[in-house]
Structure 1
Amino acid sequence: MAAAAEEEYTVPLLKKQYYENCPGCKVDEQKELKRGLPIREFLSIWTVVLCTALPISSLFPYLYFMIRDFNIAEKEEDIGYYAGYVGSSFMFGRALTSVFWGLVADRYGRKPVILLGTSSVVIFNTIFGLSVNFWMAVITRFLLGCLNGLLGPIKAYASELFRAEHQALGLSTISTAWGIGLIIGPALGGFLAQPAEKYPTVVSKDSLFGRFPYFLPSLAISVFAVGVTIASFWLPETLHNHKKNRAARDDSYDALETASGEGGSKEYDGNTVAIIEQKKQPANLLRNWPLMSSIMVYCIFSLHDMAYTEIFSLWAVSPRKLGGLGYSTQNVGEVLAVSGFGLLVFQLALYPYAERLLGPVMVSRIAGVLSIPLLASYPFLSKLSGFSLMVLLNCASVLKNLLSVSIITGLFMLQNNAVEQHQRGAANGIAMTAMSLFKAAGPAGGGSLFSWGETRQDAAFLPGNQMVFFVLNVVEAIGVLFTFKPFLAQPRAAECNQAEKATEFDSKLTARARVQPTKSNQITKCLDVESFKRVSQDQRSVFSNCRNGGKQSL
């Protein structure tokens, strides 16, 4: 009998329970069954994010000419001011509604927000292309921003759809699609705007595209959005809807207001595992310093990137007498198309390895530091011409966009790791609101800065566009500085991703435990020190015996 009492039992420490008719559980079960690279899911998320990103900056190559055709600017130097307001209206609208869409995603699911976001591109981006005056352009862009709040929920969606070992690539997919959209969008705008002037043998001046010279790029993006919207109906929902998690879903609401709550515990008996769980107190996201510090750094770099996007397009098409390159919209489109291809190759082939080797924070720091001397060289490119200008400008544009997307990807990862699954929609909504406010200031500030720079061509200190790119570098340097301690706090994965760890390592963590047969149902699941402290003293001793007896098996 004593020998029987010492009999060894193979006990899996972690056991995932799946609920019937719960879409989130179905996704979790599929993740356990399919451990390979989920190519179809990557492509689905990639196209959704690309659809959202394309209209954001597609107008920049032709915005200078659109404002000129509206006849609202009294002087040529004032065009940048009005262009900045049109560019900012989208981000201002998104800033007002991002938290709301994050809460909706946590309450009703990620998929409805995704469908609404892609549908808004179909409607309002099309109307924007038909704008006949300044205020029509501003209002349609504002409404597009208000209804296009899926970037926050899609980041939560990606972290829930992919296994832990694929999450870096999943979030890299989002930032890649986002970055490529912000590059290919302007490329489309550059190639397709003013088609009656560029392709007179194909498009006549009396045709629809001749009377509305900026409608074709908007229509092309909207047609793509129609296809993405239809395909999105087949996307799986990742939000859990069973009763056990219903209270957890409400935490994203409570987290915005309070940190108070009552704890409880539930015990589940089974042949192999007894799971002791406590209902967690809803965390106050605004007091979550790892989350808030990463959002603040994210906002600084977002301000810089949006201002850079506006300034680059204005600088490229402005006359050489004002320090610009004198490019056409088609020339700008060619440069940005090359940048988009280079970005795609880098993010899919190289970034995941760099992130594993250096970590997301170090990659962001290195990318930020390298951007500073690169931007400082931009004003001197206007002194070149011909083939040398084309080669150097393409190289600089590719490198700048690679560095920018590397920074944003690392910050995406920090934000998602700072909260648990049921609060990611709300957390990303906060990030989107703050980022959108900064991005709204980016085009307006960038346009004003560019117009001011053009008026000081003969200044003694940093004349013309040298001052413009100097100010961009100051913002970049502030962002790099804020990636260091004590400002940026990195989340502890054990605390922030408890639920994900339980799911991902379920099949890996097993122990051969020597326990009394009568106590075999008291083995406690404990993922980290904090969880361990919540278990009763008797259960702690049983768990310690399990660990000590089975550490060779681990």
Structure 2
Amino acid sequence: MDENTETTALLPKPKQNKPTPLPKLQLGVILFAQISEPTASQSIYPYVNQLVTELDITGGDPRRVGYYAGLIETLFYVTEAMTVLQWSRASDHIGRKPILVIGLFGTALSMFCFGMSRTFWTLVMSRCLTGLLNGNVGVMKSVMGDLTDRSNRAQALAFLPVVWDLGAAAGFFIGGQLAQPHIQFPSLFSGQFWRDYPYLLPSLATAGLVFLSGLVVLLFFKETAPSKTIRNHDDHQDANSPPPDSVVSLGPLPLRHLLTFPIIISVANYIALAFLDISLRSLLPLFFAMPIAIGGLALPPSKIGLILALQSVAIALFQILFFAKLIRRFGERRVMIGGMSMYLFIFAFISIISITARESGLTIIVWALVGCLLSFSVIADMCFGAIFMFLTASAPKNSRGSVNGLGQTLVSVARAIGPALSTSLFSLSAEKNLLRGHAVYAVFFVISVGAVMLATRLPVEVWEE
């Protein structure tokens, strides 16, 4: 060994755990596109109960509003569940970009149709179209997996729930503040057209945002699917040179080969989380809107939209400031268990708020309890970032689209059941006076216990890819 070799051997080895720099432009484009799904799905929540009432579907009985509002809300996820796996698997073969562009422009069109709808069945068809064309939610998670590795994934995935909640906040704000513009902005929208289509303006605003994100993807997004990027790289090689090993095993795996324990337990927890989350998101606007006499708070759409928008902004800020730090301090499993435990407090607090409002009206105590309730939901939302890390690590690189599509299909089924179940249980509890109108909260408290127990089955450490 010569002097130079010996000196080199004595030098300290460089650290191998330095995070890989994130591709900022690609990441920014996909995060902007991610806004479209929550904006489109959540923008109707502030006014959908009022819309059902105005269409006189319930025959003037406010206790039955939950049945029809829940159906409209759930159809988005029913139709999404029918197609999201096909969209995601297609992205493994033809690339992420074509699927993203189709989904974004299709969602913009469907939101315009929703705003122009004036009968129950046209609302149903418009909402179904939104779900059928919205295959992007699984594809976007696949893109995030393509753009990151184990060293920087926590940093990148922390932004997904943030962007989702910012999109939801935009949807809630748009739906609450732009609904019925002839009433809220009479000097600008006083014509008969806006009286005939009182919910077109929020739908147009939502459609415009989604359309803009589609243009951004079309112009600036570069393909990330492994099958396309490796094939494009291989096109520049000598035609007579043998293909690299990575290309030989490039093809996406059949679905039956993806049913491993890491994938199954990750998807199961994702389903439980999504079910509780969407059930709460559907239940809260109904709870806020219904008369105090039947267990609600009797708030108008503008206040409901503002409360839900502030909640989403608070969730986003909490994610930005604390998610990565909490993951490093406690690990993904503990964050997941702690976040799921919050649903126990959430459903208990809704019942307490309802009882307090009936006895004393909308006092400062009620608003303080509402603030506590929303704080619990802020903590619970951390679960999404944690479970995305488990799910992404469990997926083979060449089958990320399939795994995310499978997970998103099952999650969409859960999200289809959640709104209809929660709002219908609310109406049933009020109609039949089950547990003095609080049976819906007891049912979801029990479901939350099961979800916490399921989260304890996750491993202490995220799997190696």
TM-score of Structure 1 vs Structure 2, range by shorter chain? 0.7 to 0.9
Matched residue of 1:326: which SS?
Answer: coil
Q: 1:285 to 1:8 in 2, by over 3 A?
A: farther
Structure 1 residues 188 and 489: alpha-carbon distance in aligned structure 2, compared to 1, 3 A threshold: same
> Are 2:262 and 1:285 aligned?
no
Paired residues, number: 435
Cα distance in 1, alignment partners of residues 441 and 52 from structure 2: 23
Q: Could you tell which deviates more after superposition, 180-189 or 104-113?
A: 180-189
Q: Residue 390 of structure 2 contacts residue 463 of structure 2 at CA under 8 Å; is this kept in 1?
A: no
Query: What whole-Å deviation, never above 9, does each CA across 1:178-234 have from its counterpart, x for those lacking one?
Result: 233234322321111112122223321513x32111111111111111211111121
In structure 2, C-alpha distance between the alignment counterparts of 1:463 and 1:40, rounded to whole Å = 54
Partner amino acid, structure 1, of 2:309: A
Counterparts in 2 of 1:386 and 1:197: CA distance versus 1, 3 Å? farther
Q: CA deviation at 1:9?
A: 12
Q: Paired residue for 2:207?
A: 222
Residue 325 of structure 2 is aligned to residue 353 of structure 1: yes
How far apart, in 2, do the equivalents of 1:175 and 1:249 lie? 30
How far is the alpha carbon of 1:38 from its aligned partner? Answer: 4.8
Query: Which residue, 428, 434, 439 being the options, matches 2:410?
Result: 434
Equivalent position amino acid for 1:113 in 2: I
1:116 and 1:9, CA in 2 relative to 1: closer, same or farther beyond 3 A?
farther
Separation in 2, partners of 1:412, 1:196 = 43
Say whether residues 1:463 and 2:436 are aligned partners. Answer: yes
3-state DSSP of counterpart to 2:58: coil
Equivalence for 2:216: 231
- Equivalent residue number for residue 94 of structure 2: 108
**Counterpart in the other structure of 1:165:** 151
- Deviation string 1:354-390 (CA, Å, 9 cap, x unpaired) is 0111111210101111331233012232425144434
The gaps in structure 2 that reach 5 residues or longer are: 10-17, 235-243
Find the counterpart in structure 1 of residue 446 from structure 2: 474
Corresponding residue SS for 1:350: helix
Q: Which of 171, 174, 181 is matched with 1:188 structurally? A: 174
State whether residues 122 and 226 of structure 1, in contact with CA within 8 Å, keep that contact through their aligned partners in structure 2. yes
Q: Determine whether 1:313 maps to 2:295.
A: no
Q: Residue 302 of structure 2 aligns to a residue in which SS?
A: helix
**Aligned-partner residue type, residue 66 of structure 2:** G
Partner of 2:251: 250
Q: Counterparts of 1:120 and 1:433 in 2: how far apart (Å)?
A: 19
Distance 1:184 1:388, change over 3 A: farther
CA contact (8 A) 2:345 2:376 kept: no
Q: Distance in 2 between matches of 1:308 and 1:247?
A: 46
Task: Describe the shift of the 1:490–1:124 C-alpha distance in structure 2 as closer, same or farther (beyond 3 A).
Answer: farther
The structure with the largest helix share of the pair is 2
Q: Which amino acid aligns with 1:224?
A: L
Query: Corresponding residue for 2:389?
Result: 413
Residue among 53, 56, 67 paired with 1:71 = 56
**How well do the aligned residues superpose, as a CA RMSD in angstroms?**
2.5
Of residues 238-247 and 356-365 in structure 1, the stretch that sits farther from structure 2 once superposed is 238-247
**Residue 57 of structure 1: which of 36, 42, 61 is its match?**
42
Deviations 1:496-541 (A, max 9, x none): x2xxxxxxxxxxxxxxxxxxxxxxxxxxxxxxxxxxxxxxxxxxxx
**Against the structure 1 CA distance between its residues 193 and 342, is the aligned structure 2 distance closer, same or farther, given a 3 Å change threshold?**
same
**Are 1:422 and 2:398 matched, yes or no?**
yes
Residues of 2 paired with 1:112 and 1:67: CA distance?
36
Deviation by residue 1:469-495 (Cα, 9 ceiling, x = unmatched): 22222222111111123xx4578634x
After superposing on structure 2, the runs of 4+ consecutive aligned residues of structure 1 that deviate more than 6 Å are: 7-11
Question: Contact 2:161/2:316 (CA < 8 Å) preserved in 1?
Answer: no
- Give the letter aligned to residue 44 of structure 1: V
Which residue does the alignment assign to 2:14? none
Give the direction of change, closer, same or farther, for the CA distance of 1:205–1:394 in structure 2 (3 Å limit). Answer: farther
- TM (norm. structure 2) is 0.87
Q: Tell which structure's C-alpha radius of gyration is larger.
A: 1
Cα distance change, pair 418–491 in 1 and its aligned pair in 2 (3 A): farther
Residue 478 to residue 150, structure 1, CA distance change in 2 (3 Å): same
Q: 1:326 to 1:143 in 2, by over 3 A?
A: same
* Equivalent residue, structure 2, for 1:532: none
Partner of 2:421: 445
Cα offset for 1:456? 3.5
Counterpart position of 2:306: 334
Q: CA deviation at 1:400?
A: 3.4
Given candidates 136, 160, 181, the residue that maps to 1:150 is 136
1:106–1:249 Cα contact (<8 Å) kept: no
The structural deviation recorded for 1:447 is 1.8
Contact 2:165 / 2:313 at 8 angstroms: preserved in 1?
no
1:320-370 Cα deviation digits (max 9, x unpaired): 111110000011111112112211211111101101111112101011113
Give the aligned partner of residue 404 of structure 1.
Answer: 380
User: Does the 8 Å CA contact 2:332/2:461 hold for their aligned counterparts?
Assistant: no
The correspondence for 2:82, drawn from 87, 92, 96, is: 96
Letter paired with 1:211: D
In 2, Cα distance between the equivalents of 1:250 and 1:38?
25
Aligned pair in 2 of structure 1 residues 400, 221: CA closer, same or farther (>3 Å)? farther
CA distance in 2, matches of 1:293, 1:368: 15
CA contact (8 A) 2:19 2:151 kept: no
Question: What is the letter of the counterpart of residue 110 of structure 1?
Answer: R
> What is the match of residue 202 of structure 1?
188
1:493 aligns to what? 463
Partner in structure 2 of residue 385 of structure 1: 362
